[in-house]
Amino acid sequence: MSVLVIVISIHQHTNTPIYQYTNTPMTISLEKALIVGLGNPGRQYAHTRHNIGFMAVDKLAAAHSIELSRVQNKAIVGSGYIAGRPVILAKPQTGMNISGLSVGPMVNFYKVPVENVLVVFDELDLPLGTLRLRGKGGAGGHNGMKSLIQHLGPDFPRARLGIGRPPGRMSPANYVLQQFARDELPIVQDLLQRTLKAIETCLQLGIELAMTQHNGGVINN
């Protein structure tokens, strides 16, 4: 298919807009994609900072009427279509630090290329509300990502959701297991909504365009 691209520039003498229209060929992948949200199982962890990856997958599932009702490869999973593309949504139930024990076998079972795996997780080193998509990379000190990289290698896309640094002398381990404060919840909901749109863009147009369109911090209206 082709995409209509509209380029708008300003005439340097008259200050009037100049419109240019081009049809740009674009290939959209219809290969199966695996979207993984990282977190810890159990009600006591349901609304903690460390579980924002689970929250993102729950929001994505609700938006596209995908039921997360099956247990497979030590994960809660659901399947459906997003933007016309077949997807599997997964929330590993192994515990954050050994998530690779679930995701590795799942990737093999569904024969999903690692470039079609998108992992969503919390990031201490980004301010609360910041979204950063990347096509590949290291673990950055995140134990769940370390486990995934051990099983998949580093070349899979990821969405890092900023939760900010702990205040004062609080340990990061305690901070990530806290629930978000009440005044943080609007920022969290905005971040989850932007993550939803970013994943949809990634599935439609690829990680590079999704990065260009969606990487950033809190949007102030």
Which residues are the active-site residues? 50
The pair of three-digit structure tokens given for residue 96, joined into one six-digit string: 């954050």
Other beta carbons within 10 Å of 3: 11
Cβ(147)–Cβ(139) under 8 Å? no
List the beta bridge partners of residue 90: 36, 77
CA distances from 61 to 130, 148, 217 (A): 22, 22, 23
The pair of three-digit structure tokens given for residue 61, joined into one six-digit string: 């599932």
> What sign does the CA torsion over 138, 142, 146, 147 have?
negative
Using DSSP's 3-state secondary structure scheme, residue 130 falls into coil
Burial of 190 (0-12, 13-18, 19+ CB in 10 A): middle
Other beta carbons within 10 Å of 44: 10
Q: Among all chains, which residue has been given the structure tokens 């301010």?
A: 127
